[in-house]
Amino acid sequence: MRSCIIIPPSTFLDDYKVFPQLGPYYIKRFVEENSHHTVDVLYDPPFSNLGQYEVIGFSVTTPQFEYADNLLKNVSPSAITVLGGPHCKTYDIESNKFTHVIKEDGCQPFLDILNGKEPRPQNDSNDQLPHRDKSLRDFKYYLDGNPTTVVITSRGCGRRCAFCEHAGTAIRLKSKEAVQKEIQECVDLGFTGIMFFDDLFCLNKKRVKELCAVIKPFNIKFRCFAHANNFSEEMAQCLSDAGCVEIGYGAEHISQKILDAVNKNTTTAQNYAIIKTAHKYGLRVKTFLMVGLPGETHETAKELELFVLNSGIDDFDVAIYYPFIGTEITRHPDRYDIIIEHDGTDTAYYKGKLGAATCAVRTSALSKDEIKYWKDRIYSYHKRWRQYPQPR
C-alpha cells in the first residue's frame, strides 16, 4: 500500500525549512523496514498529487493544524486519513474529520493502519532511528559554517515546569550505540554539524560523558541544550572537548518570584552562573526567555531586561508565554496570578516572523498590551538592532 505523511509548512516562521520534523522520518523507516509498504514524506506545498496515495498522514504541531484541516478538502473521500504529531496529544480532534487520530508515537500505529488493522500502541523502543536521505539537505542550517541537521538522543522530560506541555513525561534515552549509528548516517550524508534537539542531552554528568565519548571521534561541531540547575565545569569541559560550540538553555525568566511560581526549580544565581561556566570553556550561550508568566509585573520585566543587558549571553530569544491547554497553568489558572483570555487552539505559536507573537494572557499587574510592550522592547535590543542600548 502506498502512503504519504504531509508536514504542513510553518508559514508563521521566518523560514520553515531550517530543521526537519523528525517524527515522519521515524515512521517511514519503521514501516519500510518492517513491511512492503512505502511512505513518502512530503513537506513542499501545494501537495497537489495526493490521489496516488491510499493512506494520507498529517504530522502537525498546533499552529500547523489549520493548514492540515483545510488540505482535507483536496483528499479523496476514499482515502484513509491519519492525523498525528504533538497537537494530537492534548487537543481534541473532531472524530469525523480524520479516519484515525494518533496521540502518541506513530510508528506501530501507522504500520497497523497500512496493514488494515486497528492501530496498537507503540512498543517502547528507544533506539529506533529516523530515515535519512538526501532530501534532508533541503533543510538549511549552518553551525559555524558546517551544514547541520538534527539528532534526538532522548524523549520525555521528568521536570515539572508549569508552563510546559512536555512536563512530567516518561524519560526514554537512546543507547550510545544507536546515537553512534545515527551520527554516522548524518556524516555519510555530508553533515559536519549536529543540533542535538532533546531537552535531556545534559541530563547529568554520566550521560554527558557517555554521549561525548560517542561524538568526539566524528570530529563534528555540535550544539545542545543544557540546564542551569545542574550545569558544571566538568560538563562544560567534556562538551568543549567533544566539539560543542554552543549550548542553549531555557532560563525562561530571571525573577526568583516567577521561577518559583512556575516550578522551574532554578535560581537567579544559577541562570547567571551557567553563562560564566560555559564561557570559561569556550562555549557560546543562547538563552530562551518568556514575558507574561504568572506574576509578571513592570519590575520583574525590568529584571529580565537587565539580565539580557548585563549577563554576557551571546544570543537569546524572548517570547510571550502562551497557554497551551496541556500545561499545568492552563489546567489550573486559579492557582496562578494569570488571566487566560483565549487558547488560540488552531493558530497558536510562541514566536513567528520577525519575533511576532500573540498575547493571550494578562496578570494582575500587566495588561496584554503591556506584556507585548515588554516583549517587543527586550526583543528589539539584539534581534533588530544588534546592539544593547542602556534601558531608561
> Residue-wise pLDDT tens for the chain (392 aa)?
899 999 998 876 666 667 788 999 999 999 999 999 999 999 988 898 899 999 999 999 888 888 999 999 889 999 999 999 988 887 777 667 899 999 888 999 999 999 999 998 877 667 888 888 878 878 878 999 999 999 999 988 989 999 998 888 889 999 999 999 999 999 999 999 999 999 899 999 999 999 999 999 999 999 999 999 999 999 999 999 999 999 999 999 999 999 999 999 999 999 999 999 999 999 999 999 999 999 999 999 999 999 999 999 999 999 999 998 889 999 999 999 999 987 555 555 555 555 667 899 999 999 999 999 999 999 987 655 444 444 33
- Burial label for 327, CB within 10 Å (0-12, 13-18, 19+), is buried
How do strand 146-151 and strand 142-143 relate by DSSP bridges? antiparallel
Domains recognised in the chain with CATH numbers: 2-114 (3.40.50), 141-383 (3.20.20.70)
pLDDT at 390: 41
- Burial label for 223, CB within 10 Å (0-12, 13-18, 19+), is buried
pLDDT at 356: 65
How do strand 244-252 and strand 284-291 relate by DSSP bridges? parallel
Start-to-end CA distance of the chain, whole Å, equals 64
Residues 6+ apart with CB under 8 A from 364: 337
